[in-house]
Chains A and B, each alone.
Chain A
Amino acid sequence: MRLFIESMGLLGPGLAGWAASRPVLRGEVPYRHAPAVVTASEFLPPVERRRTGIPVKLALAVGHEALTNAGRDAAATATVFTSSGSDGENVHQLCETLASSEREVSPTRFHNSVHNAAAGYWSIATRCHETSTSLCCRDASFAAGLLEAAAQVATAGAAVVLIAYDQPYPEPLGSVRPIGAIFGAALVLASQADRASIQLEVTFAAGKGNATPMADAALEALRGSVPAARSLPLLAALARNRSEDVVLEYLEAAHLHITVAPCS
């Protein structure tokens, strides 16, 4: 599938926004770890803002960054959200309550427990009625999201913003499902080159494939420890904006092969 990338959004440890992260991803500035700071979205009405957890704020932040960078109207752009576990803190709180004798579940916690909570708050914040989907493919959630977003662009022709995000679980789930950090990334994908400087060819390919690593050891560790950070090799290629191939792990017997090329 051939498509164009118009813009990026990024928020993770030591990666505070696309503009600040671009030289780091290009290897021009050394990577320095710093906790990601996630703030509430100014786009949400105050009542809804109070109800949202970190993952929703994170998804809204990177999505807005990417759309702003693309100069696109969020209300008119289709969305693909992808996450391994969405709001892990909220799941933990619900399970604790349900294991107690009272079992008095908070209604807000319950409606925030749906995997598509970020998509719901996003649509409220942006007044967007366009197609939206919310995916999960565990460690390969970014690859699955990219495949779906690419297929949407290829078949519907309209632009899509892909938003991948993950948050660590608190204990005891953190031990059985370790996720290293808060990490979110967003891409605006389009079928036309007019606002884009980079072209992608995304291919679903047989075999596990050897995932493209990050040259920097700390970024490579981050890639390995957060499902959404599996996007880093592609983001690094987009930051470099030169012709190269990127392999993303997907399933046990399949991977994504991505050819990145500057628009001529």
Chain B
Amino acid sequence: MNVQPLVISHFSIVNCLGAGWVATLDGLRDKRSGLIPCDFETVDLETCIGRVAGLDELRVRSDLRAYDCRNNRLAQWGLDLDGFGDAVAAAREKYGAGRIGVFMGTSTSGILETELAYRRRDPQTGALPPGFRYAETQNNFSLADFVQRYLGLLGPAFVVSSACSSSAKVFGNAARMMAAGVCDAAVIGGVDTLCLTTLYGFHALGLTSRTPCRPYDAERDGISIGEGAGFALLERADGAARPGAIALLGIGESCDAYHMSTPHPEGLGAKLAMRRALASARREPADIDYINLHGTATRTNDASEDKATFELFGAGTPCSSTKGATGHLLGAAGITEAIIAILAIRHGLLPGSAHTRNLDPELKCGYLTESREARVKTALTNSFGFGGSNCTLVLGSAG
């Protein structure tokens, strides 16, 4: 689709690199990784995770107590960071609560609550324990519902749940709603938190690594699951022109139409998403200064994404995956990596890939193993999910 330039006027982020954008920027600059051996809950798997420290001690705001679960706690933490809540409050004054949409991405929402509740079923009746709250925790909409209430917004709201592309795709939903005049601004974002479904599920598929994940490495053998939250306030360029503001220039969405959990070997869907994003941004491949790859560190993802990316960009465009630093944030990966692309533009940083030691000689793109300073005017970021759901964003200086 052709998007009217929308400005990302504010954003906030939390993941295993730390809370707030400064922690993520510094972590990437120093090539730090937040991945640690899995110590989550009762999980007995040899794998590494990107856990957000301090999350267990948090509780959601008392008036929203019914929504208390790991996923909404992390959502609240993200909303409280980087002055994001104040920025939304100012936007609420400016546009009116009913004119600001809330579009959130998540893959598992509060399913952890259900997983734990299934251990405490009534031995006689099999019933779930009293106090289990399906609507406010397990249901995917819980996240958007919570965010909307927490911020006091009344505009259109829903959750996009398309696995690991979810919170990239919400940029498109917001852009469409704003272009169609349904709202004047939008809070978009994504939150996913550690749970047994994804840890045991990806393990069952043979897609988790024992070591911290090594994107693009010759020895790469799978993902490290992380948790995180990211939010952005989208406004029309004319309403929020600020020096140094970053714009959403383009978006491309596609389906692989190939397999539920394996990407198309030639990167067909990935290529389509990138092409459509470039066309929507009216940019050529040569205009892109940095690519944040999906780069999960599975054998198949990195190989197919490399084919697609190399075909479009050749080896000259610097690119990297930041999942060695953050882990794979699943439904929160899209927004997290969009914010990383924004940080790359704003702070002139090409993030090097943590944990990648020996580049796979089969892969041909211009992959960054070290972080370095460079002028980045326009960046592209890929997010691909199960079901062959692909989304690419092009972000750049608004001016």
Q: For chain A, which range describes its interface: under 10, 10 to 19, 20 to 34, or 35 or more residues?
A: 35 or more
Contacts A110-B205, A177-B135, A254-B98 given: A134-B256 contact, CB under 8 Å? Answer: no
Q: Which of A110, A115, A152 contacts B140 (CB 8 A)?
A: A115
Bound CA span A130–B388, Å: 11
Check B257–A128 contact: CB distance below 8 A. yes
Chain B nearest Cβ from A226, distance in angstroms: 15
A232-244 vs B, Cβ < 8 Å mask (1 yes, 0 no):
0000000000000
A198-218 vs B, Cβ < 8 Å mask (1 yes, 0 no):
000000101000000000000
Kindly state whether residue B107 has any CB partner on chain A within 8 Å.
yes
Contacts A116-B387, A124-B258, A130-B255 given: A148-B127 contact, CB under 8 Å? Answer: no
Q: For A51, A130, A131, A176, which residue has the most chain B Cβ atoms within 10 angstroms?
A: A131
Chain B nearest Cβ from A26, distance in angstroms: 31
Check B156–A254 contact: CB distance below 8 A. yes
Kindly state whether residue A113 has any CB partner on chain B within 8 Å.
yes
Binds A, one of B78-86, B171-179, B319-327: B171-179
Interface size on B, residues (CB 8 A): 69
Q: Which residues of A contact B272 (CB under 8 A)?
A: 129
Q: Which of B145, B197, B388 contacts A113 (CB 8 A)?
A: B197
Bound CA span A185–B10, Å: 38
Kindly state whether residue A30 has any CB partner on chain B within 8 Å.
no
- Could you tell me which residues of chain B, from 295 to 320, have a CB within 8 Å of some CB in chain A? none
Bound CA span A94–B195, Å: 12
Kindly state whether residue B134 has any CB partner on chain A within 8 Å.
yes
Check B201–A99 contact: CB distance below 8 A. no
Check B200–A103 contact: CB distance below 8 A. yes
Check A177–B134 contact: CB distance below 8 A. yes
Q: Which residues of A contact B121 (CB under 8 A)?
A: 99, 172
Check A175–B128 contact: CB distance below 8 A. yes
Q: Which residues of A contact B156 (CB under 8 A)?
A: 144, 147, 204, 250-251, 254
Check A98–B159 contact: CB distance below 8 A. no
Check A253–B385 contact: CB distance below 8 A. no
Check B386–A94 contact: CB distance below 8 A. no
Contacts A103-B196, A120-B386, A130-B254 given: A151-B180 contact, CB under 8 Å? Answer: yes
Residues on A facing B (Cβ under 8 Å): 1, 48, 51, 84-85, 91, 94-96, 98-99, 103-107, 109-117, 119-121, 123-124, 126-138, 141, 144, 147-148, 150-152, 154-156, 171-173, 175-177, 204, 206, 250-251, 253-254
Q: 20 A-B pairs, CB-CB below 8 angstroms?
A: A1-B180, A48-B260, A103-B44, A106-B204, A107-B204, A107-B205, A114-B107, A114-B163, A119-B389, A128-B257, A132-B162, A141-B141, A147-B177, A151-B177, A151-B180, A171-B126, A176-B128, A176-B134, A206-B154, A254-B155
List the 5 shortest-distance A-B pairs measured between CB atoms, nearest first: A120-B387, A110-B201, A115-B161, A99-B118, A123-B255
